[in-house]
Structure 1
């Protein structure tokens, strides 16, 4: 950390005398003697603030106030400008213009909480500036030395068996901050020290929310937020096209340059460790795909033996089979999330990639995993009916049909039972049968357009009424003989005898395929 006013005043060679150390506004800033000193500047301008920056010490001889000590100078506006600019302290050089520091200036500094010290005539302003510069240089050297030692300690920690955890724990020790790692889904993976979970739950909740926001952006980024009196620093891990997680740090003070350099080195180490894990994940992904194909050909025993050694047993039958959309930009993040759920719930979940989708087998009690997955990544998923592993190919077909239906609406889970409940003919409106249906109904549609008739509408209502002329007439508001005449015209145009069930079914399928209610 940079030197403070206390260290500057403690230099006996300078002979500086503090004239006030408190004021009514002092509580709004750090304790007066603990305020940072970044540099020392001298000026006798009435308003030197355009040439100053935060945390500087200003020295003045007071010529801007005049030489008459009895003059009624207004010191308050001057001191207020300095205080609002963020000046650390004001030093007054005596025996140049005045023999002592003006009482009015002392009162104004005390009232506004700006530390004021006196610089004796024997001490040139350049000596004060040089002393402050030496303190800054010493601090920077000390911080650079600390950074090198910290990086060495962290590098040694990375060589331990659990290198990632050891690295993060050492970083926490070196910084005096708590350190947390969030995985690709924004879930807290590990935190050091462990007591942080109970000591700072609000800060962890805030940082988790921010971590998920950064991950949702899908790009490398960093963020700094304040929560509960702590400064929280977050940095995404991984490449631009695949974020592996977020590293977060919290503590009472913001990171300085030396601390930031140490954190940067840890980010590189953590990113490398996660990339190595990703290479292993890719190999496991290929194994999973192979096991899925083996399951589909019926060798459940072999797959279960391998799964038990790798991830735990397969979910107990009957299982639900889901097919989930896996867009390329989010595919790795989705599989990372599922891997974490496998670790958390062994024996409830098995998944594998299949082309541009992910096939998931879950225990019936773990259906919520699919809902959570779709909600987190805005995905569509289709789910089969409960199935044995022997009937897995049939369940997979059901899930794919349900996924096709799911894509027609907002992201979420669609169950095959919903598709089955709507019947077989309902699928015609979602296939390439539309053109065939339009061709079938074209004569009737052309007649309606040419003669302003309602044959198509009458045909639809009549079929909905199971061929009852009276019921159809009541719905249409016409006489039943009118309905009968229209149906006869339709039969002639369609070249079909609508008295037979196959003909009626064919025409009804054409109506569904063309969605004739909207024509």
Structure 2
């Protein structure tokens, strides 16, 4: 079979033979359980090679066979390519069919289906013999079964197989996420992975020693090959790939370098061995690799001891500045920090999604609550848009100003949600005309101007969002997560308390200036 088969879910040939409504009968070739069909193609071309990708069930009524007689004569060219192909031309009917079957096998077809109507009443014996010699499964399609019915049956079987595959992936992801939350997460994840892949799952340390293993044991030869494959993906080799696959006999092998390592560093490797014909579980294995990358952070020098010490300092009453100093040391001496707020679009922020985003941002300092993830990054780490997420990013601040950066990131996220953009960054208040006024004077004016709203933070937030979105009720409602009628009621209440005409652009500008300082 060619190296590239169609990107579809394979269907066992035996599943088609079990369909009573099709009435298919195998008359030559290997057992159907060993044959996988990826596609269906109907053709009366004399030479099938230019028209097949590989893995097809090729259907033909034998129109191009000589004279329509079973097993006799030469190709008459009807429906043929007309290009002097390898199978067109002289020779006996047996020779013609021998060449046709050989070319069909060369094209990578999975099986040949021969229709008994309207040209042939029986399957040519020479065709049966040729398929038997070349190991090509040959099916008889009865006159009552149109080729479109066979194709439809394959599409239905493929859809059902795909549905089962997606359900299996979902169940595996749920199992892996639950395992990652156990007290012994690493061996629990490996056990779940081995169960769902029916494979041997091994976690190797940076020196190649086995840390944990689960699943059925493999042969010594497969074990040696698995160690050699794991060495290929270790990051101490410059340019090493993130993953690699191999096979030993009937055992399929795969190795994944866990994230975080680099040249000169040590990282664990996830190694898998499965006794099966195909290893198609890359999605499940990749999910496990992400989880194990997060769970084995100590092997990546992630500063766990410093983070623990910082937490202990806070619990024992130390000031935040002293606790953050430890995190600064863990972040290669960075003195300023960026806060990121993130919210998933159209889905819940579950543990798996949090882990994936944390890995993408390159930080273990994350917190997820109320559907919003908050992350702390040392200055210098670039933050870019992430698929499926909406991000708000603060400006870099000293450790003592992290609460301010947290508020900046929160406001930027609200703005990103309202504008339906993937990422928004904090906009400095000290720009434009605002920079012409001393900050102390501006803040004093803001406090006095907004004093009637001092006891109503919801009104302040609503007024800020509504003005920033040019008086749009709907967009303000989206940004605040409330109903548009709630926005209308709050704005009306704020206008009454401030005794302000909010339809006046000058009044809005004045209030916007004040809102930037509270």
- Structure 1 length-normalised TM: 0.50
Structure with greater proportional helix content? 1
Larger radius of gyration: 1
